Amino acid sequence: MPVAKPESCDSRVIAHIDMDCFYVQVEQRKQPQLRGLPTAVVQYNEWKGGALIAVSYEARKFGVKRSMRGEEAKEVCPQIHLVQVPVARGKADLNGYRNAGSEVVSILARRGRCERASIDEVYLDLTDAAETMLAEAPPQHLEAIDEEALKSHILGLNNEDGSDVKENVRNWIHRCNADHRDKLLACGILIVAELRMQVLKETEFTCSAGIAHNKMLAKLASGMNKPAQQTVVPFSSVQGLLNSLPIRKMKQLGGKLGMSLQIDMGVNTVGDLLQFSEEKLQERYGLNTGTWLWNIARGINGEAVEGRLLPKSHGSGKTFPGPRALKTVSAVQHWLNQLCEELSERLCSDLDQNKRIAHTLTLHVRAYKSSDSDSQKKFPSKSCPLRYGTAKIQEDAFNLFQAGLREYIGLYGGKSEGSHYSGWGITSLSVSASKIVPIPSGTCSIAKYFHWQTSSHFSSIQSPENLRMDATHLSPPGNESYSEVNLPEPKIDFPGEESWIEDTIPGLGLQEQKINVWKDEDLACFPSKKKEDGLTEDTSPLLLSGTQGCLEQNQNKQQREFSKDESRFKSEYREQKGTRLNNKGTSSILKFFKSCNPSGASLSQEHDKTVQGTDAQLTNGAGFQSRGHSLAELNEVEVAEENERSSCSYIRDQDERRREAWSYNIDEIDPSVIDELPTEIQDEIQAWLQPRKRPNNIVKRGSTISHYFSPTKKS
């Protein structure tokens, strides 16, 4: 449900930073010889060459799309390099991408409040930095403006044929008669250009950005000119942008609300909403949603950038589509053990690095019954208090599975133990840890904290034998008490906390990010603290069985540190040899590639060539002008086509291409990845699932979002 928040101040400067073909860039950094070449990252499942999950801009020029599998991509682009996503424990291992994203976040956070929105997207509130710049070094007095800033796309800037686009941008930034809001945006242009250069210099990744007065507009703008470019939405251009923007492109309107607006109200673009009064919209959709709709039609969005660099949850999941569905309890237990091991590792890292502990363990399952009239019945998601230690998490997750299965199949639903197939199949499993809070300040050591927790709240934990006895037998449905008996709730209060063993929407209730920020920490902190606190096995089962695991992992981490040192050394060596990118004195991202990257040279030439072709400015019906793509996405056919497009229809086409490229087969989406996908994809998946969850009063029967978005139904 959208929440209408009044815009506190329309002089904010908000940036949305979106990494370009992110996984590909991460892989290209590992294998620099792939830079500038058509490349795609494929899923770990090798069937037909694996599903493509990220495609480089060079490969996109050949028509390679994310919806393809490796074999198909090879057909349209025989020279494409396919890199398999790293695998650990038989599933995709996203840690490398998470950590790469964290590197970027740590750079961006230097200039303003930073909110990590997905694995490769960040919102930045640059208001303070912009105000400071305006007070101390106002852009209108700057003689030299960074080349990257001059390449910005400013919506509504009137670039007549033949005019020098960069000169126009320079003049816009220099305007003395601009209002305060535009002056702040001019500062935003300079700050974001500098940040993007810094990201490139330190991480070797390019990113694109949208700069506007609020999150909604910044997000809309960041995808308009990719890769490695930035787009600005001055206040005066907001209405032009929104007028022709298809309603479903708006965040939170991809689902049933957007559909109702189209079907019931005849609203196809955001601009169409302007014809309705706030009262009318409130009457139809309720006070809050009505006001929210009225606001977005006018580009008003008061959503704050939350200062959040760390994840709100951690998760690990795997899908088992089609014939790979798990059909026995022992197979489920095997995979749960793998997932829990990964989860436990991440929890330990979080505890170690950030001194945070998670309190809730949740299991999400998707399942089917082969012969069942009640085929719509969902496998209930279950939660319980989280106990640290891999074995405990595994045990608890398995208990949750048993409880869920009992409910799912019913009392006489079928024999399900051992290896006997019993008429059900599991197509997706995921475990997540949430309610993560910092260890309270004033707690002098982590060990003491656990000691306190242990003695005050975990004294009633039963023996593993009891737990096992209780868990491995499928007791009658409705008996939910095991978790209360065996897994007492920690006494930390959370507002609105539900009772344990709760049902949740699989994988999607949590709009949360999973980010691991790695800091240098004292690896030996636990042993010394433990000694200091004098804890014994008897008094601190949680510490010993839980954080002991973390201790072991810390030793492994020390080993990893050595290899990190080794790779640091190697990269320094490469740097000395000149193979590592070094952009000293480079004034733009384009130059950066030109000067540093052997394969980037051809890219740059291509860029120049195309920019020449597209620098003749494009004017759309709404009065917007937009330059064509640059850098890698330089397909001349596309550029020619683009001359006919408005910037808004460009977004639409981009989105439609993206949508076509995105398979809606929910069973193929790794549930642990959903929270980290780009937010609009999350929204779409959520919207897709919701109608299945509850009967939908608004949407006509049979009109699901996948049906709606199918290629033949494009609006």
Q: Using CB under 6 A, list all residues that contact ligand TTP.
A: 18-23, 53-54, 119-120, 226-227, 662, 673, 677-678, 681
Burial 512-543 (b: 16+ CB within 10 A, else e): bbbbbbbeeeeeebbeebbeebebeeeebbbb
The contacts of residue 115 (CB under 8 Å, 6+ apart) are: 122, 123, 124, 305, 306, 307, 308
Distance in angstroms (rounded) separating the CA atoms of residues 70 and 232: 36
Q: Which two tokens stand for residue 522?
A: 């004292």
Q: Does residue 432 contact residue 315 with C-beta atoms inside 8 Å? A: yes
Q: 227 vs 404, which CB is nearer to ligand TTP?
A: 227
- For the bound state, the minimum distance from the C-beta of residue 165 to ligand TTP, rounded and expressed in Å, comes to 23
Strands across the sheet containing 39-42: 52-55, 39-42, 81-84
Q: Which position has the token pair 């593993």?
A: 464
Residue 299: CB atoms within 10 A of its CB come to: 22
CB atoms within 10 A of CB 37: 17
Residue nearer to ligand TTP on the CB measure, 227 or 546: 227
Q: Give me 206's structure tokens.
A: 């390019």
CB burial of residue 98 (10 Å; 0-12, 13-18, 19+): buried
Least distance from ligand TTP to the Cβ atom of residue 19, Å: 5
Least separation in angstroms between residue 55's CB and ligand TTP is 7
Cα radius of gyration (the chain): 27
- Residue number with CB closer to ligand TTP (340 or 685): 685
Closest to ligand TTP by CB, 614 vs 682, is: 682
Rounded to an integer, what distance in angstroms lies between the CA atom of residue 425 and that of residue 134? 61
Q: Which of 339, 329, 315 is nearest to 425 (CA)?
A: 329
- Considering the complex, state which of residue 108 and residue 501 has its C-beta at the smaller distance from ligand TTP: 108
Task: Show the tokens assigned to 38.
Answer: 């058509």
Is 121 assigned a catalytic role? yes
User: What sign has the CA pseudo-torsion 210, 2, 492, 535?
Assistant: negative
Which residue number has the CB closest to ligand TTP? 54
* Minimum CB distance to ligand TTP smaller for 197 or for 361: 197
Q: Which residues are paired to 113 by β-bridges?
A: 125
Q: Given the complex with ligand TTP, which of 120 and 182 has the nearer CB atom?
A: 120
Question: CB-wise, 66 or 406, nearer to ligand TTP?
Answer: 66
Give min distance, CB of 118 to ligand TTP, in A.
7
What is the C-alpha separation between 569 and 563, in angstroms, rounded?
9
Instruction: Report, in Å, the least distance between residue 522 CB and ligand TTP.
Output: 34
Of the pair 20, 272, the CB lying nearest ligand TTP is at 20
Q: How far is CA 177 from the centre of its chain?
A: 40
Which two three-digit tokens encode residue 434?
Answer: 């949430």
> 10 Å Cβ neighbour count for 154?
26
Q: What is the DSSP string of 470-538?
A: HHHS-PPTT--HHHHHHSPPPS---TTPPPSS----TTTS-------------TTHHHHHHHHHT--TT
Sheet holding 360-369, edge to edge: 314-319, 424-434, 360-369, 382-385
User: What SS3 class is residue 668?
Assistant: helix
How near is the Cβ of 53 to ligand TTP at its closest, in Å?
A: 4
Structure tokens at 400: 């949750």
* From 121, 148, 204, 407, the catalytic residue: 121
Nearer Cβ to ligand TTP (224/386)? 224
CB of 76 to ligand TTP, least distance (A): 18
Residues designated catalytic: 121
